[in-house]
Amino acid sequence: MSHDHGGGPKHPGTATSVLLVGRPNAGKSSVYNRLTGGDAKVGNFPGVTVDVLAADLTLPGGVPVRVLDLPGVYSLDVTLDPGTDEGVARSFVEGVVAEGSRAALVQVLDASQLAAGLALTRELLARPLPLLVVLTQRDVLADEGRALSVEPLRAALGVPVIAVNARDPSSRATLLGAVAALVAEGARPRVRPDDAWDAAELERAAIRDADAVDARALRRRARTERLDRLLLHPVAGPAIFLGLMVGLFAAVYAVADPASRALDFAVQHGGRLLARPFGHGLLGSFVVDGLLGGAGTVLAFLPQIVILTAAMELLDSSGYLARGAFLVDGVLRRFGLGGRAFVPMLTAHACAVPAIAATRILRDPRERLTVILVLPLLTCSARIPTYGLLLAAFFPGRAWLQACLFVALYLLGGAAAVVVALVLRRSATKGRRLPLVLEMPEYRSPDPRAVARACAVAARRFVRDVGVVILACGAVLWALLHIPAPGAADGARADASAMERSIGASLGRSLEPVTRPLGFDWRINVGLIGSFGARELMVGTLGVISGIEDAGDHPESLATRLRTARDARGQRRYTARTGVALLVFFVFACQCMSTLAAVRRETRSWRWVAFITAYTYALAWAAAWVASRAAAMLGLD
């Protein structure tokens, strides 16, 4: 058996493609995992399966098939953005039909939401492909004292219908047998009865109360209602939601930071080992600082992405994530967004790269584009080292002020994101707003194996899609900051470092006419250039320019050096005004090539990459200029 992530119809040899189709939350990925042992995520929120996962297997009787797990879809007849989850599913099914490929449809339908799922069944019956309906959550119905009968469904739909518990290993044989029968009969024309059936009446015929309903089943029926009364309460609900989000970020920072430090230590140790055969010249520096340093940047992001993915999966599979989207829908709609947008916006506070991929859950293509365009404004964890350095350098000994400014920086990024979203929704991405369509799934216990698989998929996707770009750009940045500029040695000081004579330093000096009104000199400009590879590199780049080795490990020494630096006239080179302007600049500027690479991947256009770069830097310059003038009025010179 083999697995891959496909983006379009692929049919190895003569194997029949078996397309798993279903609404979000139906248990489709659980069926895929049970059939194939694959890596799809199991979730209760739209957008959990963001790739088309495929696995080759052999059915009973030796028939080869390829099973494909399509993203969740509510309807195949509604026009959708091809880049969204639902658009991918629809395009895939239509592509298979148009090609006339050998294929069969397997609809996974949540039996506890039977009437709602039958709307998609009606659309699938209209496709010229054999169809099998697989009912999941049978165990949930049984626990609630309800009995499920598939006979009324078979008679009304005219297609095979089975009911399984996808978490039960014994259900694999049932699934394989049903799929084998479906593929064997696929070439025969199917005669369906009249489709004038009513979904609600069919649900009442298929699901009835069991002969004996005990007290435990009745309590289970009422559990979701009791929890929703608390978690969706107009006062308690938002308070609980805010507490969970604070706890989530505290966990991300508390766990990811030690893991990132351990990976950083491993990268540094690897650098020392590589320095032996390559030496300490340009080649050794390129390998250690350029290539291995770029790899270290990739690895530094991984703990955050994995931990955040695990946290989101736990919230998702428990059923709470959909409730969170419902709670914030009213607030976000005032700014042209919907409740679903809160998921990528929440993710962006840890890292914008997975957040951009998470926008696939948004059904409205204009809303999705809007969210992608504003995500870089939200404060990610990569900004924290620079915030800490500048606050320590320009506001020393005032912990309360540092804390207030730190919170203000977070709030400023969030406020900027929603305001820019409102402006975009009334201009560049103006369009009809879609209502929030969201199912409230039953509360369930998360599956640890599914969470682990989700983390593995997220890590592989990040390394594959973004890691290569970071390595390439890291190599280019190394060249800019280490290769001497032509003629730079003639006018340089005798004790000038190699970086001061580099191409990057020359670029920094060329930018001074633009950045001088903000109080930035060429040194800060070079730091901004270096931090474009990764925002954390701002500290290390400034440290190298200031003559401090390992500034990232000893930021306090760099903070002192920045605070006490003097120019040729003996005046302070940087003041509190400079620090305030640089902090505000960092809030708005998209100083992250991995984010831009993710935008290019999701939008498939360099146009929007250029738009984000242009508007964030223009906004950053204007906001930093205002902040600098405000700081002067407050006497912070």
pLDDT for 614 beyond 90: yes
Of 126-130, 247-251, 462-466, 551-555, the least confident: 551-555
- Please indicate whether residue 614 or residue 454 has the higher confidence score (pLDDT): 614
Least confident of 53-62, 104-113, 172-181, 561-570: 561-570
Per-residue pLDDT of 517-553, as tens digits, reads 998 888 888 888 877 776 766 766 676 566 544 444 4
Mean predicted confidence (pLDDT) in 448-466:
73
Low-confidence winner among 346-350, 412-416, 476-480 (lowest mean pLDDT):
476-480
State pLDDT tens for residues 277-312. Answer: 776 666 766 776 666 666 665 566 677 677 777 877
Residues 604-620 have a mean pLDDT of: 93
The pLDDT score that the predictor gives to residue 112 is 81
8 Å CB contact between 87 and 8? no
> If you ran DSSP here, which 8-state letter would residue 433 be given?
P
State the residue for tokens 């951009």: 356
Phi, psi at 144, each rounded to 5°? -90, 5
pLDDT at 419: 93
With CA atoms as reference, report the closest residue to 143 among 550, 445, 467, 364.
445
Q: Which two tokens stand for residue 432?
A: 């009809």
* pLDDT confidence of residue 450: 73
Give the pLDDT of residue 106.
Answer: 93
pLDDT of residue 29: 76
The rounded distance, in Å, linking the Cα atoms of 394 and 563 is 6
Q: Give the percent of the chain with pLDDT over 90.
A: 12
The pLDDT assigned to 257 comes to 63
Nearest to 339 by CA among 331, 348, 351, 347: 331
What does pTM read for this prediction? 0.66
Q: Find, among 25, 29, 14, 111, the residue nearest to 70 by Cα.
A: 29
Average pLDDT of 196-207? 85
- Cα dist. 255→61, 315, 338, 463 in Å? 49, 18, 31, 20
Instruction: Pick the range with the lowest mean pLDDT from 23-27, 263-267, 483-487, 596-600.
Output: 263-267
φ/ψ of residue 113, rounded to 5: -125, 45
| Largest CA-CA distance found in the chain, in angstroms, rounded | 95
83 pLDDT more than 80: no
Looking at every residue in the chain, the average pLDDT score rounds to 77
Nearest to 7 by CA among 87, 109, 99, 98: 87
Using CA atoms, how far apart are residues 202 and 129, in angstroms rounded to an integer? 23
User: d(Cα 532, Cα 404) in Å, to the nearest integer?
Assistant: 27
If you average pLDDT over residues 208-221, what whole number do you get?
66
DSSP characters over 379-412: --GGGHHHHHHHHHHHSTT-HHHHHHHHHHHHHH
Instruction: Tell me yes or no: is domain 2-213 CATH 3.40.50.1110.
Output: no
Is residue 265 predicted with pLDDT exceeding 90?
Answer: no
pLDDT tens for residues 428-438?
888 776 666 66
More confident: 131 or 501: 131
Q: What is the pLDDT of residues 40-52, one digit of tens each?
A: 433 333 333 345 6
pLDDT tens, residue by residue, 483-525: 787 766 555 555 566 667 778 888 888 999 999 999 888 888 8
Residue type at 26 in one-letter notation: A
Q: Which percentage of the chain shows pLDDT scores above 70? A: 74
Say if residues 637 and 577 touch (Cβ distance below 8 Å). Answer: yes
Query: Mean pLDDT across the stretch 570-587?
Result: 86
Q: What pLDDT is attached to residue 377?
A: 93
Question: Would you say 584 and 624 are in contact if contact means Cβ atoms under 8 Å apart?
Answer: yes
Q: Can you tell me the mean pLDDT for 439-461? A: 75
What does the pLDDT read at residue 49? 39
Q: Is the Cβ–Cβ distance between 453 and 32 less than 8 Å?
A: no
Chain position carrying tokens 């080992």: 273
- What's the rounded Cα separation, in Å, for the pair 64 and 41? 24
Confidence category of residue 474, pLDDT binned at 50, 70, 90: low
What pLDDT is stored for residue 213 in this prediction? 61
